Amino acid sequence: MTTSRTARTLLVTAVVAAVVGLLVGRFLTYSDTPTVPLPTVVVPDDTEVRALQATAEAAPDNAAAWQTLGLAATDHAITTADPAWYAVASDALERATELDPDDHFTTIASGRLALSLHDFTTARERGLSATAAAPASADAWGVLVDAHVELGDYDAAATALDTMLALDPDLSALARASYLRQLNGDLDGAIVAMRQAVAAGAGTNPTVNALLGDLLLQRGDLDAARDAYESTATAAGAAGLARIAAAEGDLATAELILTDLAGRTPAPPVITALAEVQQRAGNAEGLADTVELARTVAALQIDAGQVVDLELALFEASFGDPERAVELAELAHEARPDNVYAAGSLAWAHHVAGNDADARALATDATRLGTVDTAHELRMAAITGEGMDALLARNPLAEELFLP
């Protein structure tokens, strides 16, 4: 990486922090003491990844150093919701490939980066290359599973997952098994697999506890979900606790938690949850600021090379500009026509924009797997007029936990 690129990355990182800080600061004001303390959230600092960056730059012909930096920068971008680190990851992996083009570890790392950037076609190509070069690598199969899932080729994903599980039934494989079960409507099986993933991780990956909490929310089990969220000092865990607070009627605490969280890790799911709470509370001014924040973060993601059409379309449909939502959702659906969430995003955008005939046709496709996802199900039920009774039978708190 050149010195100028490094300097640019540092500048962009500072701009991200400054812009988000200013926006959050505009509505981070409270008149009441929260009824519960803020959850503990550990946001990784950049000490380790900067040390790896210095090591790679000091040994520019060491492919392994660049490879390690690429992986670390990708993970850091994800955990901190700071897209500026994707440029570091991309440059590092390009350099590693130049130095050793046949190293399948670099191919796997490049696949993970492509997944993070939502470039799923490239991720599938990397996954196919990696599994061909290293068929005994569970990590290679993991990239391929994720790419197939995101592109909507669920049968191919299940086949690749079977191979991954046979090679190493560890946390990452079990978590993927859980997600595929959830996609196919098997909530109980998804929870079992995620509990196995938690046990397999033995505390090494706290995010998996938050994923378990998310699944428990899908059946309205607030106490069990709370236990899962409280066991992990992650942004996802704190967001889950905020959602529980909102479901229990404590909107002030929910907004406090999410506003604090958005100021530190402005990940799109956090921002969406904040917008939901503000809409429920009738906080129009705060919601307007959150919409602005969401658009700012999306612009920074796009500048970093991320594709955010699907996620931003859902947000715009629910809280922003319905016509813009349709445009974005059409792009997402065109890129991933077999993905149930892409179909659902376009269905919801059309519904909010008043195009109900188009929305109903797409909703049929979006629900073809029986996917268990309360927010997704609420949206599709609003479009079709069907499925609400079954959803409430499974999760009586569905409407308190999520907005359509």
Q: What is the pLDDT along the chain (404 residues), one digit of tens a residue?
A: 443 344 334 434 444 444 444 444 444 433 445 555 789 898 889 999 999 999 999 999 999 999 999 999 999 999 999 999 999 999 999 999 999 999 999 999 999 999 999 999 999 999 999 999 999 999 999 999 999 999 999 999 999 999 999 999 999 999 999 999 999 999 999 999 999 999 998 767 889 999 999 999 999 999 999 999 999 999 999 999 999 999 999 999 999 999 999 999 999 999 999 999 999 999 999 999 999 999 999 999 999 999 999 999 999 999 999 999 999 999 999 999 999 999 999 999 999 999 999 999 999 999 999 999 999 999 999 999 999 999 999 999 999 999 98
Tell me the DSSP string of 359-387. Answer: HHHHHHHHTTT----HHHHHHHHHHHS-S
333 contacts 346 by C-beta, under 8 angstroms: yes
CA distance 120 to 213: 27
> pTM for the full model?
0.91
Cα–Cα distances in angstroms (integers) from residue 108 to residues 20, 111, 178, in the given order:
32, 5, 22
Q: Tokens 């658009």 belong to which residue?
A: 295
Q: What is the pLDDT of residue 348?
A: 98
Q: Tokens 């069907």 belong to which residue?
A: 386
Instruction: Count the neighbouring beta carbons within 10 Å of the beta carbon of residue 206.
Output: 16
CA distance 221 to 277: 20
**Phi and psi torsions of 162, nearest 5°:** -55, -40
Contacts of 330 (CB under 8 A, 6+ apart): 346
Q: What is the pLDDT of residue 205?
A: 84
CA distance 305 to 74: 13
194 contacts 175 by C-beta, under 8 angstroms: yes
**Phi and psi torsions of 357, nearest 5°:** -65, -45
CA distance 30 to 131: 53
Using DSSP's 3-state secondary structure scheme, residue 31 falls into: coil
CA distance 89 to 346: 31
